A and B are shown apart, each in its own frame.
Chain A
Amino acid sequence: MKLPIVENSGSNSESGSCQPSRCGSGTAATPLPADIQERVANHPCFSEQAHHYFARMHVAVAPACNIQCNYCNRKYDCSNESRPGVVSEVLTPAQAVKKVKAVAAEIPQMSVLGIAGPGDPLANPERTFETFRRLSEETPDIKLCVSTNGLNLPASVDELCKHNIDHVTVTINCLDPQIGARIYPWIFWDHQRLRGVEAARILIEQQQKGLEMLVERGILVKVNTVLIPGINDQHIPELSRVIREKGAFLHNVMPIISDPSHGTYFGLTGQREPTAAQLQEVQESCAGDMKMMRHCRQCRADAVGLLGEDRGEEFTLEKIDTMEIDYPAAMEKRARVHEEILAGLEQDQNPTDTGVTDGRAVQMAVATKGQSLINQHFGHATEFLVYEASPEGVRLVGHRRVPRPYCEGGSSCGEDAEAIMSAIIEQLAGCEVLLCSKVGFEPWTALEAAGIQPDGEHALEPIEEAVKSVYQQMMTREPVELPATERQSA
């Protein structure tokens, strides 16, 4: 799968102006209301802290869709919520319920079940709501959430309320129908296929109405926006402002993926993907005082596990059939594990203060398998989290997927190690340090040559603490060499 090419973003001084309290998960100056804070506390997709500890899963029960997006090929899963180009096995509601119960028994960190596709869940109301109805009864401790393009949202709100679903994700790419007409070629509405500006106008209307209705009823709404350079990039800050005013509590701007091999309209017409730097810029420009989600991984419609990991292979229907599960015991164990995690999170509410009062912002890449620790070997990492340290604190600013990990399976690193290495380095552009549990000699040399300082000294330490101490060291050294302002213009 092709990834956005990352340009060297150079100085990050401007982007460093964002207050950590705005970007973290509701702390200090602009906290989320207490009830919302509590509701997102253990949601891996909403809470930057929780995503390190809690697991989520999606079940693919909803194959039909009622619109077309130009970044989607309907031979594959919905691109609004999933990575494009993948196909999930569609389950019946009964199969889905069975799978959820098996996963929740095997992975006690499981806290959220989502339906996100492979089409639009609300275009498949029977299958979607049958699944929710049964899960509310059989696994009452698992939170339910659903993602939608919004067209059927107003019509579904009452039904959603019945199943006690408190998290809904709506993908909203624009407010202007002229822009919408370039993103959505058609919708199915009122028994007809509608096209062009009129279709976009209706879709946008329904999305906005749905958002308002959910907020009125106290259902949490996250908005996803696909950043499409040249089409909606200029429009996103305005969009962000409006949805925030209407009460969406989190805005997730994700990059369009337009690999021609996925056969989408945008892919085949050469629509460019945003660079990591452009994505970050748009995210910063609409951060305001609204939560921006930086850890979204654009999961598959059937993803299982912690964010960024997918253990779906362990839970195929055949494998589930052979598992012997004590469901009541599993639920008790989950309750215990969740409590432990929450207790840990509470101690960790404040953004890590760097103790540095004057200095530039530095980005560091981190290899982690979860638990908020530096606990992954460089060669095994399929993605890196990017943290920014500045006088304002330490915060997560994004993640970078690499096309292939440096050591793919087994001990010997592949023949095309050099090509893989340069692809990884390209993805890490803008990062000055790489923290991991271990790194081999060759990748060490390559990273250093690319201006990224590898660091294995903080293995198994908490990420934010390690980022902080590396930052402090850098900043105490730096001013002697060059004043920060000169460095940046250099």
Chain B
Amino acid sequence: MAYEITDKCVKCTACELVCPNAAISETATVFVIDPGICTECADAYPEAQCSSICPIEGAIVDELGDPINPPGSLTGIISLATA
């Protein structure tokens, strides 16, 4: 069980700061989650921390590739988010 970061990531570092397991690190282009360390926060909090602070819709997805924060869910901007 692990979350993943997509290329929509804008490298704001917010997720890295709140991950209770230090599973997130920076690469040249985006941040990445170490699937071996990520627990989806199940052990620590009711909600996964990274996807609760990430400001970018679609930047964090679950194992199936489904966005935790789908288009429009954070910004209220629906029409553009799908583009």
**Chain A residues with a Cβ under 8 A of chain B:** 63-66, 68, 70, 74-75, 90, 119, 123-124, 185-186, 188, 191-193, 263, 265, 268
Whether B74 lies near A191 (C-beta < 8 A) is: no
B80 proximal to A (CB < 8 A): yes
List residues of chain B with CB within 8 A of the CB of A192.
45-47, 52
A123–B55 Cα distance when bound, in Å, is 13
List residues of chain B with CB within 8 A of the CB of A75.
10, 56
List residues of chain B with CB within 8 A of the CB of A124.
13, 17
Whether A63 lies near B56 (C-beta < 8 A) is: no
Task: Please give me the 4 A-B residue pairs with the lowest Cβ-Cβ distance, nearest first.
Answer: A64-B14, A74-B55, A188-B53, A193-B52
List residues of chain B with CB within 8 A of the CB of A185.
74-76
A90–B75 Cα distance when bound, in Å, is 24
What's the nearest-Cβ distance from chain A to residue B40, in Å? 14
Whether B52 lies near A74 (C-beta < 8 A) is: no
A476–B31 Cα distance when bound, in Å, is 68
Partner of A191, one of B12, B47, B55, B56: B47
B49 proximal to A (CB < 8 A): yes
Whether A65 lies near B55 (C-beta < 8 A) is: yes
List residues of chain B with CB within 8 A of the CB of A63.
11-14
List residues of chain A with CB within 8 A of the CB of B11.
63, 90
A256–B65 Cα distance when bound, in Å, is 37
- Listed by A's residue number, 27 A-B pairs whose Cβ atoms lie within 8 Å are A63-B11, A63-B14, A64-B12, A65-B12, A65-B14, A65-B55, A66-B53, A68-B75, A70-B76, A74-B12, A74-B56, A75-B56, A119-B12, A123-B14, A124-B13, A124-B17, A185-B75, A185-B76, A188-B52, A191-B47, A191-B49, A192-B46, A192-B47, A192-B52, A265-B76, A265-B77, A268-B79
Partner of A68, one of B10, B47, B74: B74
- Interface size on B, as a range, is 20 to 34
Q: Which residue of B lies closest to A190 (CB)?
A: B45
What's the nearest-Cβ distance from chain A to residue B44, in Å? 8
Whether B80 lies near A268 (C-beta < 8 A) is: yes
Whether A193 lies near B10 (C-beta < 8 A) is: no
List residues of chain A with CB within 8 A of the CB of B17.
64, 123-124
List residues of chain B with CB within 8 A of the CB of A68.
55, 74-75
List residues of chain A with CB within 8 A of the CB of B75.
68, 185, 265
What's the nearest-Cβ distance from chain A to residue B71, in Å? 13
**Chain B residues with a Cβ under 8 A of chain A:** 10-14, 17-18, 45-47, 49, 52-53, 55-56, 74-77, 79-80
A68–B10 Cα distance when bound, in Å, is 15
List residues of chain A with CB within 8 A of the CB of B80.
263, 268
A423–B4 Cα distance when bound, in Å, is 48
Partner of A193, one of B12, B13, B47, B56: B47
A74–B9 Cα distance when bound, in Å, is 10
Whether B53 lies near A193 (C-beta < 8 A) is: yes
Q: Which residue of B lies closest to A74 (CB)?
A: B55
Partner of B52, one of A191, A263, A268: A191
List residues of chain A with CB within 8 A of the CB of B18.
188, 191
Identify the interface centre among B13, B18, B47, B79: most chain A CB within 10 Å of its CB.
B13
Whether A268 lies near B77 (C-beta < 8 A) is: yes
List residues of chain A with CB within 8 A of the CB of B13.
63-64, 124
Identify the interface centre among B49, B55, B77: most chain A CB within 10 Å of its CB.
B55
List residues of chain A with CB within 8 A of the CB of B14.
63-66, 119, 123, 188
What's the nearest-Cβ distance from chain B to residue A86, in Å? 14
List residues of chain A with CB within 8 A of the CB of B12.
63-65, 74, 119
A63–B18 Cα distance when bound, in Å, is 14
Q: Which residue of B lies closest to A127 (CB)?
A: B13
List residues of chain B with CB within 8 A of the CB of A64.
12-14, 17, 53
Q: Which residue of A lies closest to B59 (CB)?
A: A74
A123–B17 Cα distance when bound, in Å, is 9
List residues of chain B with CB within 8 A of the CB of A188.
14, 18, 52-53
A63–B56 Cα distance when bound, in Å, is 13
A137–B4 Cα distance when bound, in Å, is 41
What's the nearest-Cβ distance from chain A to residue B5, in Å? 14
A74–B12 Cα distance when bound, in Å, is 8
What's the nearest-Cβ distance from chain A to residue B21, in Å? 14
4 extra interface residue pairs, beta carbon distance < 8 Å, beyond A64-B13, A68-B75, A191-B46: A70-B76, A188-B53, A193-B52, A265-B77
A188–B18 Cα distance when bound, in Å, is 10
List residues of chain B with CB within 8 A of the CB of A193.
47, 52-53
Whether A191 lies near B76 (C-beta < 8 A) is: no
What's the nearest-Cβ distance from chain A to residue B54, in Å? 9
Q: Which residue of A lies closest to B45 (CB)?
A: A191
Q: Which residue of A lies closest to B16 (CB)?
A: A64
Partner of A74, one of B10, B46, B47, B76: B10
What's the nearest-Cβ distance from chain B to residue A332, in Å? 38
